[in-house]
């Protein structure tokens, strides 16, 4: 068994209104020095040794992320 992490983020050109709202809340908290926030998703998968990288990329690209609006990174940890 191994742990695999998939991080999914909105593509750079996508207006991330949720990230913007988080950023505005930081400003209201009086925290300075943070110029931008983008919000994504973090998945942790428990994977047995028979699952190859190709399958993991398929899982990420076909279900965990929507390639129209999101980029993803698969990492074995």
Residues that bind another protein (CB under 8 A): 14-15, 17-18, 21, 63-64, 66, 68-69
Of residues 26 and 63, the one with the C-beta less far from another protein: 63
What distance in Å separates the CA atoms of residue 4 and residue 70, rounded to the nearest whole number? 19
Neighbours of 76 (CB within 10 A): 11
What's the closest the beta carbon of residue 45 comes to another protein, in angstroms? 14
Which two structure tokens, joined as six digits, stand for 30? 């009086």
What's the closest the beta carbon of residue 24 comes to another protein, in angstroms? 10
Residue 49 DSSP SS3: coil
What's the closest the beta carbon of residue 49 comes to another protein, in angstroms? 26
């Amino acid at each position: 068994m191994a742990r695999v992490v998939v991080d999914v983020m909105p593509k750079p050109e996508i207006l991330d209104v949720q990230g913007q709202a988080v950023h505005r809340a930081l400003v209201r908290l009086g925290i300075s020095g943070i110029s931008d926030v983008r919000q994504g998703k973090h998945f942790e998968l428990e994977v047995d040794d028979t699952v190859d990288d190709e399958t993991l990329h398929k899982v990420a690209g076909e279900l965990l992320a929507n390639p129209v609006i999101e980029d993803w990174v698969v990492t074995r940890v």
